[in-house]
Structure 1
Amino acid sequence: MTVPRRGRVPARVRPFLSAAVSVLVVGVLAAAGPANATDPPHRLANPYVGAQVYVNPEWVDRAVVEPGGDAVAGEPTAVWLDRIARIEGADGTMGLRAHLDAAVEQRADLVQLTLYNLPARDCGRRAPQGELSIGDLARYRAEFIDPIVEILAAPQYADLRIVAFVEPNSLPDLVVNTGNRYAATPACDEALARGTYQHGIGYALARLGALSNVYSYLDISHHAEVGWPEDSGPLTALLSQAATTAGSTVADVHGFVANTANYSVLHEEYFRVDDVINGQPVYQSKWVDWNPFIDEVPYARHLRGLLTQAGFSPDAGVVVDTSRNGWGGPNRPAGPASSGNLNSYVDGSRIDRRAAIGNWCNQRGAGLGQRPVAEPELGIDAYVWVKPPGESDGTSGSPNAGQPYEPMCDPYYLPPRGSTYDTGAMPGAPPLGEWFPAHFRQLLANAWPPL
């Protein structure tokens, strides 16, 4: 963890902050600067337009000491609030007030926060586990959401646009890890039956929605988890339920965030899902596995369409996390493969180089994706770096040590039947959220567009 800071951007980094892509200016600004403190902030259709987005000095400190890290250390990343102690600051790190004060000092317009502390969080994974148990919904409200809202409501922060990414992975877990699914877990079944996630998210949306300068984006996972129709339909229903529970309405949802902390590419450039190879459609390949989507932006637009049909605002926007989906480097294809074999064609053509599409932990070969920018393409509010590049996805633990074990973070994982499964995870990873220098250096080396 980093040493205590006063919330200032280091002097060695300031010269390139002003030129960084963090100044997300698109088109003509509606006003010359932030509103007066006595005036209510103007509600924007896209909060990223014209915004200088907060650059987290703690992430800067980590990135800038790595070889080549100066090239991206001025990029904005989200601040993760993943346990109650994070609100005031824990283990020498900055708390929420310190980050907001630093944003004011930077003269930033927008701060990105990730709320990630639901009771029985990540029920579909054995590690890392959250701090709140399934019965701690009252604590989640009183000790996590309420203090965050109280801080955000302080008058000195009224001119900041606050973008809140609300509880990544939670509702998608209730789709793919429940019932008779092969990955179902008792914890996910219980969370679904109790409505814990829906009530927690609904309460968070309602409280945040009372603040006119807060823009809440609900997580919609990514195409490789819930792109199939049998998944996207139930996910739409759960999102609608959460947005109309515990005092929330769909009006409290400004938009949706896709690919949070994941690796799915924006666009596969060298093959299409409707390609046919020697009479076999691509969607029957092992990699695609009958998914109607092979990349992230078409999926995000499709989900947004389903959600607006379900009652969300037709003006709801989508942001996509591009922090680690670049997949550059020597293994990036330069064009479609020439093979007449269906699987060889797909594997040789795809930009996403994961060993399996569902792999998510500290992936080998990954690179930084598109740098943060507003309105990069039709229907997308922004490319954003929700996951700070270089922070670990988690560590595997040991399957025989009586501690939480996450096989997807284990580069040497052997399934129960004894067959090998390549998780794609890099070895030597530290616990979730801690700095992983080897992964960061790989992200720099494989960045696309290149640095």
Structure 2
Amino acid sequence: MPRHLRVDRRRRRAALITALLGVAAGGVLLQEREPAPAVRVPETAGSAYPGLHVDPNGAAAVHVRALHRAGRKADAEVLRRIADRPAATWFTDAGPGYQLRARRLVHAAAANKRLPVLALYYIPYRDCASYSAGGAPNARAYRAWIASLAAALRGYRALVILEPDAVAQAVRGCLRGRAAVERYALLAHAVDTLRAVPGVAVYLDAGNPTWMPAARIAPALRRAGAIRARGFALNVANFETTTDNLRYGTQLSRLLGGRHFVVDTSRNGNGPARRGGGSEHWCNPPGRRLGVPPTLRTGHPLADAYLWVKRPGESDGACGSGAPPAGQWYPAYAMALAR
């Protein structure tokens, strides 16, 4: 290769690494004008989970500290298999301080040269009145919420998982008529608002391999802005195997202009539960295990990351004996996963 081409390649690579990991004055990551073409963070020597941010205030970490105070050191060490690994931070309401919480998260990650993962989950008519029902009261409130979070992320790098289940549920008929049209429009607006922030990579949720064929959901994902996002997210809060998700993601990518994807591996180490029993297939099913640890190095050309989007140990819903509402810490289930 001619010398001038080798130099040019080295300069481009150096510019990308600087944009991803360079720290500017005040702890803010340096930014280029457009989002980088890939979310790749060079491995840091000695780090078991390079590149991704570990939240020291997550529910698992808080529980570990409580176990230590109670003298239950053996249980605390087991639970560290969850607490010491990166997981997404969820934003699910417009309660006071949500923008500040987002800003503090991305600032702390930048200070440690790590990439934070945020899951945004506030779409109107969320979860079709199921266990995670709620969301914004109307379209105007949702757009304002997205704008506030985009402002909080400005100046920092972040990976955003946008609205788990929102597209798939609309395709399955959870919403009809104007409500469905509005949902696609709101998702497309959220994609465009967030991707306009330099350094923010947006992955629109695309369900999981068992929900529906790729050819059925792909048109809806296009309507919802997936073709303009960095890509799409698979298996969020689900249990399908990584192999099946990679196969499904590759099929979807072909239908979405080569978009990349991420896979939630948080609880798929033992695959899905047997079908039957209604919601027990996906709502705190017993016998599940932690999956592949979070990483930005998947070895797959289209998979940007294996992530723990669903925080292991947090409930899927009040669907069984002793199970708390969705999103709340579920100690017994957490310990079962960690063991």
Is 1:225 the counterpart of 2:211? The answer is yes
Partner of 1:140: 142
Of residues 273, 278, 290, the one that matches 1:368 is 290
Partner of 1:116: 121
Q: 1:354 to 1:49 in 2, by over 3 A?
A: farther
Q: Is the 8 A contact 2:234 2:263 kept in 1?
A: yes
After the TM superposition, which residues 399-410 of structure 1 pair with which residues of structure 2 at under 5 Å, given as runs? 409=319
CA shift, 1:375, in A, is: 2.8
* Partners of 2:250 and 2:146 in 1: CA distance: 29
Partner of 2:80: 70
The gaps in structure 1 that reach 5 residues or longer are 1-27, 179-184, 245-249, 268-294, 309-313, 328-350, 396-408, 412-426, 446-451
Secondary structure of 1:304's match?
A: helix
Q: 1:108 to 1:39 in 2, by over 3 A?
A: closer
* Partners of 2:113 and 2:188 in 1: CA distance: 29
* Partners of 1:297 and 1:192 in 2: CA distance: 32
* Partners of 1:381 and 1:31 in 2: CA distance: 16
AA aligned opposite 1:58: N
After the TM superposition, which residues 381-420 of structure 1 pair with which residues of structure 2 at under 5 Å, given as runs? 381-395=304-318, 409=319, 411=320
CA shift, 1:240, in A, is: 0.8
Q: Deviations over 1:355-403 (max 9, x none)?
A: 44972111111110000112323221111000111111111xxxxxxxx
After the TM superposition, which residues 19-418 of structure 1 pair with which residues of structure 2 at under 5 Å, given as runs? 31=17, 33-36=21-24, 39-41=30-32, 43-50=35-42, 52-59=51-58, 60-65=60-65, 67=75, 68-85=78-95, 87-88=97-98, 95-105=101-111, 107-123=112-128, 125-133=129-137, 136-142=138-144, 144-153=145-154, 158=155, 160-176=156-172, 178=173, 185=174, 188-190=175-177, 192-193=179-180, 195-226=181-212, 228=213, 232-243=214-225, 250-251=227-228, 253-267=229-243, 295-308=244-257, 314=258, 316-327=259-270, 351-356=271-276, 359-378=281-300, 379-395=302-318, 409=319, 411=320
* Partners of 1:391 and 1:223 in 2: CA distance: 23
Number of aligned residue pairs: give it: 299
Q: 1:127 to 1:86 in 2, by over 3 A?
A: farther
Q: List, as ranges, runs of 4+ consecutive aligned residues in structure 1 with deviation greater than 6 Å.
A: none
Q: Is the 8 A contact 2:51 2:295 kept in 1?
A: no
Q: 1:435 to 1:242 in 2, by over 3 A?
A: same
* Partners of 2:187 and 2:247 in 1: CA distance: 26
What is the TM-score normalised by the length of structure 1? 0.61
AA aligned opposite 2:147: D
Q: 1:233 to 1:31 in 2, by over 3 A?
A: closer
CA shift, 1:353, in A, is: 3.6
* Partners of 1:304 and 1:147 in 2: CA distance: 30
AA aligned opposite 1:102: A
Structure index of larger Rg: 1
* Partners of 1:122 and 1:223 in 2: CA distance: 18
What is the TM-score normalised by the length of structure 2? 0.80
Secondary structure of 1:377's match?
A: coil
Q: Is the 8 A contact 1:81 1:87 kept in 2?
A: no
* Partners of 1:323 and 1:442 in 2: CA distance: 13
Secondary structure of 1:113's match?
A: strand
Secondary structure of 2:269's match?
A: coil
* Partners of 1:394 and 1:191 in 2: CA distance: 29
The gaps in structure 2 that reach 5 residues or longer are 1-12, 43-49, 68-74
Secondary structure of 1:54's match?
A: coil
Q: Is the 8 A contact 1:354 1:363 kept in 2?
A: no
* Partners of 2:308 and 2:117 in 1: CA distance: 9
AA aligned opposite 2:303: I
Identity, % of aligned pairs? Answer: 29
Q: Is the 8 A contact 2:316 2:325 kept in 1?
A: yes
Q: Is the 8 A contact 2:35 2:200 kept in 1?
A: no
Q: Deviations over 1:239-268 (max 9, x none)?
A: 111218xxxxx33x001110011111113x
CA shift, 1:87, in A, is: 4.9
* Partners of 1:219 and 1:265 in 2: CA distance: 17
CA shift, 1:219, in A, is: 0.8
Please report the RMSD computed on the Cα atoms of aligned residues, expressed in angstroms: 2.5
Which has the higher mean CA deviation after the structures are superposed, 39-48 or 375-384? Answer: 39-48
Which has the higher mean CA deviation after the structures are superposed, 197-206 or 43-52? Answer: 43-52
Which structure has more helix as a fraction of its residues? 2
Partner of 1:271: none
Q: Is the 8 A contact 1:391 1:432 kept in 2?
A: yes
* Partners of 1:97 and 1:39 in 2: CA distance: 16
